[in-house]
A and B are shown apart, each in its own frame.
Chain A
Amino acid sequence: MIQFSHVYKTYLGPVHALRNIEFEIDKGEFVFLTGPSGAGKTTLFRMISAYDKPSSGVVRVSGSSIDELNANTVAYFRRKIGVVFQDFKLLKDRTLAENVALPLTVKGHPQKLIDQKVNELLDQLGLSHRKYQYPAQISGGEQQRVAIARALIHQPGVLIADEPTGNLDPQLSEEIMDLLESVNAQGTTVFVATHDHELVRRRAKRVIELAGGQIVRDSR
């Protein structure tokens, strides 16, 4: 599902953000990516979501080589993945339902089908009563749940989440992790980056640990 081989990423400076990264995540796995701030977690995730290309090496996600995507094909690649960020990235001037619907809207699905799917998903997440509200009207934990709903509505094979609990208190963080685990239980490959060791320790999952741009541990 996700495959890194001999991946290096060097920013101008030069900053060696990633060095010789090599790992593989199979379909249906739940994996944590840990490491201190500046270890290279976001850099690695940006490559999985095709926001960046490796300086050298190969990144393969859902059958696509990131290096071979261009400005036209990248859109179709992103429809195969779901991405969640620390800062939610919701559209402030759209209702929650409209936000969740976005991946289907850009694909041009009929509105009726979209409404039906959005209602189903918001129901599952216990957010149906808020669907006509705007992001500013709900709490951070709820916003993150909406963002996760948006990342799942088009049923991607893989969901990646970069510090999804970074802005949330421990209680809400646990709830978000529970949600991600249930998403995984339904078959979606889930890859979560976090620097919160406590959170990781409580769940018996595979952990890949980064430090200084290198993998220092893979619990596989």
Chain B
Amino acid sequence: MKNLMSSYARTWAQHTGIQFATLSILSATLTVVAIVFVTSFNVNRIMTQWGTDIKLTAYLENDKDLDFALLEKKIQGMDSVKAVEFVGKERALQIFNNQLKDITPEFLSENLDANPLPNSFEITLKEQIKNSESYEVLTKQASLISSFEGIEDVSYGQSWLKNYSAFVSGVTTSGIVVILILLVGSLFIIGNSIRSSISSRKEEIEILELVGATRFSIRLPFVFEGFVTGALTSAIGLFICFFLFSWAKAIISQSAVLARLSETMQFFDYSFIFLFVLGGALIGALGSFLTVRGINDGWSASQGAN
């Protein structure tokens, strides 16, 4: 460990400029990765909170002597259904009037001769809409219910739900793509910095091979260097991301419209922070391992001579 640390210190002494450049670029990259993570995490969080309790409305056929109780039982018995509530046509009219009263009081339908509204069930599903997959589940349930005897039609705000779930999946997918691209880039950046460390220590590697150092012990300091660089930069990235996040949250909480949103916003928990730093460290170690594997195979002295 002492040797590994002193080897890392020597790299800093020999390549202060390159080390700084590598550290800043990687920190910036990992800041972006952290921001993408925290954004998609919070979008998902907010969306699932808002998107709870997807309600379907099943309109019943009119003019028919339907056994409402039996139908309600049948719907209630479905696996995906959380709750069913019968809304009789009189109540539907009442609700309709109540809503209309606020908007256009002149058009109150109290004076209508016949109630044009159908009886219906308000059905709440257990499933919450998080992505396009659960949207498919929803449409399946809807078409199943609409095939029941006595059901005229099922409505569930089809189009906005579709957009909504597509949006949530879109955020997640593009987040993953961006993160993958940045992580592959990080591998190259670390690999490059390790390459410069190696080239300035070519002579040292030769001498170590000469005195019988194993391949493993020659490579280890460089892999360690990548590990430390990865851990350090992902920690810095998280740090910067945390400040940006707190800043954004403060701004949002000041806005009258979005204040409630800021209560839902949350930074990563400790276990995710640990995983993020560990992930950065492993990527750094991998980047440098891929590089030392290409450059040093235990015979570098024989290859470098002449």
Q: A and B: real partners?
A: yes
Asked whether B206 lies within 8 Å of A75 as measured between CB atoms, the reply is no
Task: Determine if B114 is an interface residue (Cβ-Cβ < 8 Å).
Answer: no
B90 within 8 A of A: no
Given known contacts A51-B301, A51-B305, A93-B10, A79 and B212 CB-to-CB distance under 8 angstroms: yes
Residue from A74, A90, A91, A107 whose CB has the most chain B CB atoms within 10 Å: A74
Please, what's the 1-or-0 string for B292-304, where 1 marks a CB less than 8 Å from any CB in chain A? Answer: 0000011101100
Contacting pair B302 A72 (CB below 8 A): no
Judge whether B302 and A106 touch: CB under 8 Å.
no
A residues 54-93 near B (Cβ < 8 Å) are 70-72, 74-79, 83, 89-91, 93
A102 within 8 A of B: yes
Residues of the A chain whose Cβ atoms lie less than 8 Å from the Cβ of B207 = 89-91, 102
Q: How large is the interface on B (under 10, 10 to 19, 20 to 34, 35 or more residues)?
A: 20 to 34
Residue A40 at the chain B interface, CB threshold 8 Å: no
| A 22-60 contacts with B by CB, 8 A | 46, 49, 51-52
* Pairwise interchain contact A51-B298, C-beta atoms closer than 8 A: no
Would you call the interface of chain B mostly helix, strand, loop, or mixed?
helix
Which residues 1-53 of B have a CB within 8 angstroms of A? Answer: 10
How far apart are B187's CB and chain A's nearest CB, in angstroms?
Answer: 24
Establish whether residues B299 and A75, one from each chain, have CB atoms under 8 Å apart when the complex forms.
Answer: no
Cα–Cα, bound, A79→B214 (Å):
10
Of chain B, the residue at the smallest CB distance from A107 is: B212
Asked if A103 is at the interface of the complex by the 8 Å CB criterion, the answer is yes
A66 to chain B, nearest CB (A): 11
Does residue A195 face the partner (Cβ distance < 8 Å to B)? Answer: no
A150 contacts the other chain (CB 8 A):
yes
Partner of B214, one of A46, A51, A75, A154: A75
**Known: A71-B298, A74-B299, A91-B204. Contact between A106 and B212, CB under 8 A?**
yes
B residues apposed to A, CB below 8 Å: 10, 203-204, 206-215, 217, 297-299, 301-302, 305
Closest 8 CB pairs of A and B: A71-B298, A79-B212, A51-B302, A78-B212, A106-B213, A103-B211, A75-B214, A102-B211
Q: Which residues of A contact B (CB under 8 A)?
A: 46, 49, 51-52, 70-72, 74-79, 83, 89-91, 93, 102-103, 106-107, 150, 154
Given contacts A71-B299, A75-B212, A75-B215, 8 further A-B contacts (CB under 8 A): A46-B305, A51-B305, A74-B209, A74-B298, A78-B212, A103-B212, A106-B211, A107-B212
